[in-house]
Amino acid sequence: ALKAQTITVRLNTPGGDVFDGLAIYNSLKDHGATIKVKIDGLAASIGSIIAMAGSTITMCESAFLMIHNPWALVIGNAKDMREMADTLDKIGGSLAGVYATRKGVSKEQAQAWMNEERWFTAAEATAAGLADVIEPPASVENRQTFDLSGYANTPAAMQLTEHGGG
């Protein structure tokens, strides 16, 4: 219901539910306003998909963008597990398609990054075509408050320490 010609979405998120994130992405894409995304600290997992809704994606020079294959928890027998694996492949293909909407990014390249759980610095994301602009760091940076221990390849700079910082 928001009536605006330009919407700025500021992101600092470790991610969340894939379908909630896709709903946010689709709502932004369908809005009709110019969508500007600014990644202040972290746009990880489905947060990176939300970022792709931007006609312009700006990252603070100290920010990160992370993409990976979708996850799920499954309870059941082997047939249930196989069916969930097939479902995750479908979801992953859809997500790779979203990244491939960016100029210079193919679906195959996006899937390769997802397969390796890829953490992009602002410079790397810009070089890869996943971001457009790099800005100096935000005055308030709180990415270190996220527990990212569930991810396999979290950069050391992003890991929590006993003092609460990265």
- Per-residue pLDDT reduced to its tens digit, 24-51: 999 999 999 999 999 999 999 999 999 9
Q: For 88-101, what is the mean pLDDT?
A: 98
The amino acid at residue 49 is: I
pTM over 0.85: no
Q: For 113-136, what is the mean pLDDT?
A: 97
Q: Model confidence at 147, in pLDDT bands (50, 70, 90)?
A: confident
pLDDT of res. 20: 98
